[in-house]
Amino acid sequence: MNHAAIELENVSRKFVSPQGKSILALRDFSLTVREGEFCAIVGPTGCGKSTTLGMITGLNPPSTGTVRVFGKPVEGIDPNIGFVFQADAVFPWRNVVDNVAAGPIFRGMDASAARDKATEWVRRVGLAGFERHYPHQLSGGMRKRVALAQTFINEPRILLMDEPFSALDVQTRALMQDELLGLWSERKASVVFVTHDIDEAIALADRVVVLSKGPGSVKSIYDIPLARPRDVSAARYSKDFIDLSRQIWSDLKSEVQI
């Protein structure tokens, strides 16, 4: 049985608004993510999905409760954690290979060795031939491939993803989902993937966690029985997939209705 990579135990998180009002984003929230598990979180806007990722990174410590990573309390930024954002986190003044090499160089790798490693990762994400292109010369899907290479080159043991594909068109999004699963299957980092898209969550994850409306707490958890390796496009037409999509939407419906 896999050990726990991430443990959030009875955590709550309060923010203070610009007007000085205390806002409770999460309440009595508990979740365990096992080593090598792909866990997706879905829920209505404002339920605390992104706040959960912030607590795991150490950027937003909980107001109450405990967050542990590999059994140790989170007390700062952990180099074992990689983060892929909704917005492109690329340096516009750097070309593709230099963007991908930035992380290893920052961590102390020799610049020449980092660029060699980055060139290999650029090839692995399907961007061979674009090494010297700049972000403004790339499509949205290509920039997202750069972001995946930037993250995976650092070999994270935990991968946090905050709606990384939401701005992409349907076809590119499906391609990027398959790309992500292919990269993840090689090293099996523990993934927490935040999305509003129920079908995306089912297509990618081992488990889907449904949060209630804010202040968020766990409403339900679904184990995903779809076999791996998983073809995202083909999986969407299976009976198990369709049944799960209906069940999860039924859970969410009452949370999103006004």
- Domain final residue, candidates 113, 128, 155: 155
**Residue 257 banded pLDDT, cuts 50, 70, 90:** low
Domain that holds residue 204: 4-80+157-256
Distance CA 136, CA 133 (A): 8
Task: Quick: pLDDT tens for 74-129.
Answer: 887 788 899 988 877 889 999 999 999 999 999 899 999 999 999 999 998 989 99
- Flag whether pLDDT at 66 surpasses 90: yes
Q: Is the pLDDT score of 242 beyond 90?
A: yes
Q: Do residues 72 and 161 share a domain? A: yes
Distance CA 103, CA 100 (A): 7
Residues 161 and 64 reside in one and the same domain: yes
Q: Could you give the residue ranges of the DSSP H alpha helices within the chain? A: 49-57, 96-106, 111-124, 140-152, 170-187, 198-204, 232-235, 239-256
Domains in the chain, number: 2
Structural contact between residues 138 and 88, judged by C-beta atoms closer than 8 angstroms: no
Question: What pLDDT was estimated at residue 255?
Answer: 76
Q: What average pLDDT does the segment 136-163 reach?
A: 92
Domain co-membership, 39 together with 18: yes
Q: What is the spatial distance between Cα 52 and Cα 70, in angstroms, rounded to a whole number?
A: 16
Question: Which of 155, 180, 200 is where one domain is finished?
Answer: 155
Does residue 137 have a pLDDT over 70?
yes
Query: What percentage of residues in the chain have a pLDDT greater than 90?
Result: 56
Predicted pLDDT at 4: 92
Q: How many CA atoms lie within 13 A of 69 on its CB side?
A: 24
Q: Dihedral sign, CA of 59, 64, 70, 72? A: positive
* Domain C-terminal end among 121, 155, 189: 155
Are 105 and 233 members of one domain?
no
- With bands split at pLDDT 50, 70 and 90, how would you rate the model's confidence at 21? confident
Question: Quick one: average pLDDT of 52-58?
Answer: 89
CB atoms within 10 A of CB 110: 10
Statement to judge: residues 145 and 171 lie in one domain: no
74 and 101 belong to one structural domain: no
